[in-house]
Amino acid sequence: DGVEVGGDHELRSGEDGMLNVVVVMKSITHKVLQMPKHNMTVPTFLNLYSVPLVLGEMLDAALNICEKSCQALCFVLDLLIDLLTTKENTFSTEPDTNGRIYEHLLVGMSPNSRRNLMGMSPPSGAEQKSILPGRTMIMGTHRIEALLRSRYPKLTIILRGDLACNSGKHIPGHVSARVGSTRLRVTEFFVACLRHGGEETQSILCKLNVPMLLWELFRSNPLCSMLHCVISNSVVDCFKHGTDISRKSWMEGNLIPNLLQCWDEVYSSPDGWSSGIRGHVIKMMDTIATFVASFPAEQMSSIDPELREKIQALCDGELGHARGLEALPLGGEVPHSSVKTNSDDEEFADVLDMEDLIEGLARQESEPIQRYSKYLLTPEQVPDIDTPIDSQDAHQGFVPLTSLDGPPERLIAGLNETAAEVAVPEASRSNPDYMEDEQLSAGNYLEPTSQPPPGPAEDRMETTGLSSAEKLP
């Protein structure tokens, strides 16, 4: 069953076998969850929500070998996360499509009415607690949650990182510095339990200080953006769409004081650099402030008045400013362009419309060609559009056009001269080995050359000085 593992070959074989089992179980479960929607009886031996014992055995086997390899544990946790959070286990409110012919009858009905319609027995008390008010579930997860509760302590040890340090014991409040894929998957598992778990699950997670551990993990890994997204999204989702139980779990973990302290730290960087978690802190703080503002007056006493004052001060100050920037395109930042026009100090990006420019160049109109010629000028020293550019300016990097006014043919000729000047550096011109054909090719960008077309391949080989052995037969 994967508990005793010998060499590396057996270890890899066990991991591959666990992955295959997880993939098959996921596929079967998603099919099984469609059956009650069509008034079909689910076979008990295929229903992991009713008979989850095999899940406990798989998790125990993965935990027993996690000191040697954690791949199997990641596979099992991925299956458990899917069972707790899959949308296949909810009644959709979308229009009736793809053969879901009964869902429109079930939307809006109470859970008991749905079960009566589908011929299912009424839910037990524990199962009723696992059904979240805003998420009508087809299969209750209470049996899976009960199976997992006894495994939570071992998983919290992994979350602290003690197994990776081979210490065999953990220090309260200590979180290892490195995350890794295994701890990230354990984090996702606990986030799913906090979001979708019932009252007993939430109570045990609070006793194990899981919310506080997640926060310490968030703070001690400033460069792990994937971890930041998982935890910050969990907090935002909990306070926007979660239950009172899940919010209570985070509140008892001192989320608001810790978040306020973190806010002061990320906004008081001495070197002026923005912290990597600053965006996530703003997102969580915005959600918490909105939640506190809509808190019922009779329950407001559960939040420390000093904390409420600090949150209100943030809303009037830095958080309010951040909200205003978030409402603007690109956060209120306009991309800076160093290329300026010679009039009205406009940014060149506002003047150079590429679609109109391409069409104008194709029609050889004067105005688009003049605009494109200005684009080739050095940004720091843009001359007046009506002033000819002298030879001294050309050596300083200006386009050597005789004039920017005149017919398109004259401007094109000037641009050809520019291309030749740019393509041929001074050192190359003074080099006696610089080929004349290279000088000619450097200026042939916008108009055809007057050189005769190349002759046959044999003639070209004669001019290059190939030996008779190198020539083509």
Delimit the domains of the chain by residue range.
Answer: 8-95+123-290, 348-448
Q: Which fold has domain 8-95+123-290?
A: Leucine-rich Repeat Variant (1.25.10)
What span, in angstroms and rounded, lies between the C-alpha atoms of 122 and 322?
A: 49
Instruction: Judge whether residue 41 has pLDDT over 50.
Output: yes
Q: Note whether 256 and 293 are within 8 A (CB).
A: no
Question: Quick one: pLDDT band at residue 387, thresholds 50, 70, 90?
Answer: very low
User: Which pLDDT band holds residue 100 (cuts at 50, 70, 90)?
Assistant: very low
Q: Summarize pLDDT for 406-450 with one digit per residue, the tens.
A: 555 665 666 566 555 545 555 455 555 544 444 444 444 444 445
The string of pLDDT tens digits covering residues 337-354 is: 444 444 444 444 444 566
Lowest mean pLDDT across 131-135, 182-186, 223-227, 366-370: 131-135
Please determine, for residue 55, whether its predicted confidence score (pLDDT) is greater than 90.
yes
pLDDT digits (tens, 9 = 90+) for 134-146: 457 788 888 999 9
CA dihedral 78, 81, 85, 87 (to 10 degrees): 20
Cα–Cα distances in angstroms (integers) from residue 463 to residues 230, 434, 441, 447, 455, in the given order: 68, 16, 17, 26, 11
Greatest pairwise CA separation for the chain in angstroms: 102
Contacts of 156 (CB under 8 A, 6+ apart): 208, 210, 213
Q: How confident is the model at residue 75 (pLDDT cuts 50, 70, 90)?
A: very high
pLDDT at 199: 85
Answer whether residue 398 shows pLDDT above 50.
Answer: no
Question: Cα–Cα distance between 27 and 295 in angstroms, integer?
Answer: 42
CB 196 within 8 A of CB 139: no
Q: Is residue 15 predicted with pLDDT exceeding 60?
A: yes
Q: Which residues contact 385 (CB under 8 A, 6 or more apart)?
A: 342, 370, 374, 404
CA dihedral 157, 160, 166, 170 (to 10 degrees): -70
Q: Which two tokens stand for residue 141?
A: 């997860």
